Amino acid sequence: MLESVIRVRDSFLRKQSGLMLPSHARLILAPATHPEFWERKILFWDNVYGVDMSALRKLACEEFLRRPVHTEVLKPSNILSTPQSIWDMNMYTVTVGDLEDHSSAFSFDVLKPATLHCLAAWFDVAFLPRSHNSSEMEGGRQDSKDDGTWYSTSPYHEPSHWKHALLFLEEPPSVYAGDKIHGSVNISRNKFLRRHFQIKLVVSVTRADSKRASCMKMGVAERGFETKETSRADINDQHKSLEIANEGKGRGVPPEGASMEGENQRAEHIVFKEEHTYFMWR
């Protein structure tokens, strides 16, 4: 749909005085836990009204993993780290060619223990003055009068009919506060079916030696433990630090007061890695 908007803009918008509404947009990504969905769609097959149909679990996973799930609405408690922007667009200057292929790296600091079921995506749009410097959009505060008006579809705002796009992992790992989630995402358009997209996701989880040893000492497995609910203070910190993460050019920034002492000295090991390709059509 955006291609149609761009072509109309190029054909009819007045170069000097015309307005694009919205004027800017950004795609946001964050790691998330969603045990209710996993139980409802995947673990469901282990006991279907008393019948073991676990043989169908693999087929169920293939069905739900081959494309993003966009029928779910997340809550702030589902989000495991500070969200960050992976794609910023200026609607006055973006071209059709920019939509063909886009890649972005990401890095998140996990804020609480949970099962990492998916990477969640949503979008924000801005209605900014034409004179606004597009380079200032990254990190633009949504509550600033000088930054125009923002509309967000994030879990921290009222739900919208767009809901959230969820990229589920095939084997969701357990993560702990202090773990790091690294990876990259590539979004490319189908050359023939122009409303179809392919999303390639690479994600890994690294854990410090000290944390790993502590988990082993307590006999805690690296997968499948219970999710701990986020406190209201955690939710507020995540929401307020979204702009800070964007100012960091897409790199995750720990909440204010988080200790970085000895961060560079401790060794980290990859405890999980997965690559997956999703297909999406609109």
Class of residue 182 by CB neighbours under 10 A (exposed 0-12, middle 13-18, buried 19+): middle
Q: Could you give the count of Cα atoms lying within 13 Å of 220 in the half-sphere of its Cβ?
A: 16
Task: Report which of 119, 114, 120 is spatially closest to residue 175, judged by C-alpha positions.
Answer: 114
Backbone torsion region of residue 50, taken as left when φ is above 0, otherwise alpha when ψ lies between -120 and 50, otherwise beta: left
Length of the chain: 282
Class of residue 41 by CB neighbours under 10 A (exposed 0-12, middle 13-18, buried 19+): middle
* Planar angle of CA 32, 165, 169, nearest 5 degrees: 50
Please give the pLDDT value at position 16. Answer: 84
Please give the pLDDT value at position 133. Answer: 55
User: Coil, strand or helix: which one is 196?
Assistant: strand
Residue 97 backbone phi and psi in degrees, to 5 = -60, -30
Task: Report which of 40, 59, 89 is spatially closest to residue 187, judged by C-alpha positions.
Answer: 89
Q: Which residue has the tokens 């970085």?
A: 260
Token pair in block for residue 211: 């944390």
- The list of the chain residues with pLDDT below 50 reads 138-146, 217-218, 220-265
Token pair in block for residue 213: 């040893």
